[in-house]
Structure 1
Amino acid sequence: MTEALVLQSDFGVSDGAVSAMYGVAHSINPSIRIFDLTHDIPPFHIWEASYRLVQTVPYWTGQTVFVSVVDPGVGSNRKSVVARTRANQYVITPDNGTLTHLCQAGLIAEVRQLDDHKHRLPHMGESYTFHGRDIFAFTGARLSSHAITFEDVGPLLPLEEIVLLDRTPAQRQGDHTIGIVEILDIRFGNVWTNIPVSLVREAGIDIGSRVTVTVDHRGRTIYEQSLLFGRSFADVPIGSGVVYINSLDQVAIALNQGSFAHAYEIGIGNDWRIYLKTK
């Protein structure tokens, strides 16, 4: 049986890069089943690639193989790795921080260094700039087709040696619950934080509460307003703000039928702090 092969990259689909990865996979196994996670990761944005994996991987079956290629260090001495999750999915990626969210969520069981001298497209030429095609898609197709095993890809690496991004955890501090903007729900402009539902419950925040929301960027207040903590967007009038629990059970902020991120020019990462305080 051929396992699903799921591809993610920052390549976009306006040229032939993604199609070339498909072609390599089909050359390994014409019956291979390929799915796209996304190819719209902003160029070089490892943080977003990491988040999209933790958003997606848990909902796929065991043995699914993911290939994630956001690789500003391509051709350098950075490692290539294959991670096995606790649910026995596999993630093939550069060791550049892409595994951060999966690791910190406790979903990674073990990681092997990919021997990319051994596992590479035959006759790949002298280019060192398209490992997504020549190494990652090639290895992903072979792993998903059972032409190689996880143990074949290379030696085990200690989990503590895996490159992780600097990511500030959510916390309670006095009467504030504090987190960061993890990601944007891009199409709709909702702002997703890293504050888990458990923290807001500890703070006594529940459906129907009024919450003072402050968005801070490098010490400058970008937004501050009292909002309803609702079940969904429809709990407030069109154009009004609402705090809610998103599909990953974390706090998010939205405008009903509007883009909160666009309206207030919100970015993502540790520099973007969210403070919640009950009235």
Structure 2
Amino acid sequence: MDKRQFLLTAAALTTASLAAGLPALARAQGAPLKLIGFMTDFDTKDDAVAICKAVMDGVAPGVRIIDITHTVEPYNIAEAARFLAGTAPYFPKDAVFVVVVDPGVGSTRKAIIARSKVGQYFVVPDNGVLTLVADRDGIEAAHEITNVAWMIGEKRSSTFHGRDIFSPTAAHLARGDDWTTAGPALEVSQLVRLDLHSAALSDKGIEAEVIGLDGPYGNLVLNLPAETFAKLGYAIGDTVPVTLAGKAYAFPFEHTFSDVPEGKPLFYIDSRGRLSVAVNQGNFSEVYKVGEGAKLFIPRKK
């Protein structure tokens, strides 16, 4: 082989080698990993949250994970649904959410991926945790997770699907894998829903319910949107009569906590646009011995 032929052959081999390496290079320099939002009722007293994050990073090295909370009240799917719906609008339109509040773990309940009409992905047990997201954003499609390639492997625990199914699946989505290969398509209309409802407005007034407490402060979170409350006719500065957990009270309706003296109660519109009840620099739930599930009635303004 003369020098010219040698150089041509070497050039051809080099070109072929580069071409063969292009797919791997494209993957390495491809689209950025999607952001993951992570929520559980695991608490952080043991290693469960760290294990799940390590699994995600193992499948999608360098993936960014934002903790929504890991202190959902144990088994409280409705609370998780509320936190998920409240958080999702502040995440990117292609974000991935993994929610493990799963009292039915190991049972016949399905592990699923759902995509909202916004474009976000939700890796969740099919237990109703998507109810509020579905009501606001709509669910475009859903797949059951049955493909073991999307899981941690064949040997899976019957009690830690957060590690074995949900975390690896979220990471596969974050790195851009084709979600339709995770398992068979599901009918969106057949997904489990929680029986959640807003306050009921009548000619006499509004019947509402305490649906949660605001963090450590003990403020009552109500299923009463501000626009519905407005139909009763009350304005800022008014004293609002209320029957709460069977007892009669009257609280001022104000903009914010400091509009009343320290230790005094008030109605206000919270940051999510719902009517709420609080004690300025105090804990309403503890002071008034009222918690989630309590009923209240507010009459129309006379």
Query: TM > 0.5 between the two?
Result: yes
Question: Which amino acid is 1:93 matched to?
Answer: V
Q: Which runs of 5+ in 2 are unaligned?
A: 1-31
Does residue 239 of structure 1 match 2:267? Answer: no
For 1:276, the equivalent position in structure 2 comes to 298
Partner of 2:180: 151
Give the corresponding residue for 1:29.
60
Cα distance between partner residues in 1 of 2:180 and 2:150: 16
The partner residue of 2:234 within 192, 197, 205 is 205
| Alpha-carbon distance in 2 for matches of 1:51, 1:157 | 24
In the alignment, what sits opposite 2:140? 110
Cα-Cα RMSD? 1.7
Q: Check if 1:55 corresponds to 2:79.
A: no
Residue type of the alignment partner of 2:35: A
CA distance in 2 between partners of 1:141 and 1:91 (Å): 12
Contact 2:219 2:284 in 1 (8 A): yes
For the pair shown, which has the larger CA radius of gyration, 1 or 2? 2
Structure 1 residue 227 and structure 2 residue 258: aligned? Answer: no
Q: Tell me the SS of whatever aligns to 1:23.
A: helix
Q: Percent of aligned pairs with the same residue? A: 35
Mapped partners of 1:126, 1:141: distance in 2: 17
As a proportion of its length, which structure holds more strand? Answer: 1
Deviation, structure 1 residue 108: 2.6
Structure 1 distance, partners of 2:70, 2:127, is: 18
Per-residue deviation, 1:158 = 2.8
What is the CA–CA distance in structure 2 between the aligned matches of 1:169 and 1:101, rounded to whole Å? 11
Q: How does 1:187-202 map to 2 (within 5 A)?
A: 187-202=216-231
TM-score, length-scaled by structure 2: 0.84
Per-residue CA shift, 1:145-186, capped at 9, x if unaligned?
Answer: 11x134333344333311112223212122312221122102
TM-score relative to the length of structure 1: 0.91
Q: Does 1:43 align with 2:74?
A: yes
The size of the alignment, in residue pairs, is 270
Unaligned residue ranges in structure 1 (runs of 5+): none
Letter in 2 for 1:187: P
Measured against aligned partners, the alpha-carbon deviations of 1:210-255 in whole angstroms (never above 9, x if no partner) come to 2112223xxxx1x421111111111111111110101111110000
In the alignment, does 2:100 pair up with 1:69?
Answer: yes
- Greater helix percent: which structure? 2
Task: Tell which has more relative contact order, 1 or 2 (C-alpha 8 A, sep 6+).
Answer: 1
Q: CA deviation at 1:119?
A: 4.7
